[in-house]
Chain A
Amino acid sequence: MITGTPKPIEEIIEMLEPYDNIIVAGCFGCVTVCRVGGDKEVQILSSTVRLAREAAGKKIKIKEVCLERQCDPEYVELMRPYVEDYQAVLSIACGAGIQFMAEKFSVTPLLPGINTGFLGVTERQGEWAERCQGCGDCVLHLTGGICPVTRCAKSIFHGPCGGSVHGTCEVSKNVTCGWQLIIDRLKSLDQMENYAKLKPYKGWDKSRDGGPRRIIREDMI
């Protein structure tokens, strides 16, 4: 899923300074699963903002909504009938959802209520960790199912570097060495022959370096 963290409330209050009639929009997609942008978070954030503005003597009216997904046009369009009745939309979806709404509603300012994080997994209640950078050219079949691009701090293809100590990365004792994980997995899969091969230069053009990416599925159009 796409993960995220709430923006500090002070930053949100500052963003909302010019407005007194807004929509707070959540999303039932990834951000609901990682508990940062679902309907519950819409309610909590809206209440917090109302209280803060009341305390500051500058009341704000808030319409609370939560879309099925902010990244799909059919759901975003549901807001069209009323969006222009409000001065701004504070979205707590991921950056993709916020931008999609901004594209659709050209005269309404869209404000980010969360900082979008990464493509990750729930390791345990309340803890998420990155697993994929969406680099566009997956090699997981060669690396024991562990991604060198994401899990290695240097994204190297022939690791680990000299900074791997007792299974941890030189960057921090709290970061597991991705290449230690790869080697452990290759050993348990009896695939160490994959380690001994030289890997070609990676084509980062399939990653974000090629500019904003697009997928076109002719069979679906």
Chain B
Amino acid sequence: MSKKHEVPEVDIVIDEEAGVIREVKPEKTRSKKGHERRVNTSIYVILILMSIIWLAPFFFLVFQSFRSYATESGGMVDYLLPKQWSLDNYKWLLESQESNFLRWYGNTLIIAIFSAAIQTIMVLSVSYALSRLRFRGRKLIMNVVLVLGMFPGFLTMITLYFLLKQLGLTQTGAIPGLILIYVASSGMGYYISKGFFDTIPKSLDESARIDGATRFQVFKKIIMPLAKPIVIYTILMAFMAPWGDYVFASYVAFGSEPNYNVAVGLYRWVNVADYQGYFTRFCAGGVLVAVPITALFLALQKYYVEGVTGGAVKG
């Protein structure tokens, strides 16, 4: 569609002293200004409302977690701000003999770190291979995986449970069992990173191979540094999924409390255990769960924005 060429409205002023003709743009008309302001205001109102909706549960959680367990109720109350602020709940989580919180937190951390590490390597290798190598059945593999990926993972729950049980990887073996589950099909998540690798010109690979690099050296020395944003993305995703997983963790570890992950443990408190007694502790646990994810995001987010391929090829 061709855009109509706009002729700017100008007033011509003759500057006699300087002996030149100047063009002066007239001020925007008042009604136009007013219209802009109205639009802006309504946009801001909408944004503020949305952010309140988003942030409310978070603040609710934080406030509850700081409510004193000793002087107020540990359960649900009908007011938002604590009457007495205290660290009771956190202290209990971290210090009490009754609390398995630290154990669960550790379990989750181990599972998430191992899964993230293995999964990242798998996803990146699979995507690079699918992006760069041409082999028989490549298209078929990609399509089959795409279709398989449309089935939710928990459909395989029962089969997986029996398999893991045979291998002794349930209950007390839940941690390696869960790592295995999270990592097993991770190569199927190649889609996004393959898309990214496809944007890196193939001639860089070719040039490096002629320069004397093996396929692996090309991957390590050329592609990985250029793919930083997608590597970071993959790590984050691979870390977050096991970190917050409930479905698989709840049944693989079922019946063995010390092997719960943090999501399962916390949920059991408010669901199975004493609901009124554990609510504020549950909230404090929730806040602590959010800490590593937030830290990871803050530390890694700047790599997202970096444009990295500039100047590689003509441009």
Chain B associates with chain A: no
A residues whose Cβ falls under 8 Å from a Cβ of B: none
Which residues of B pack against A, CB within 8 Å?
Answer: none
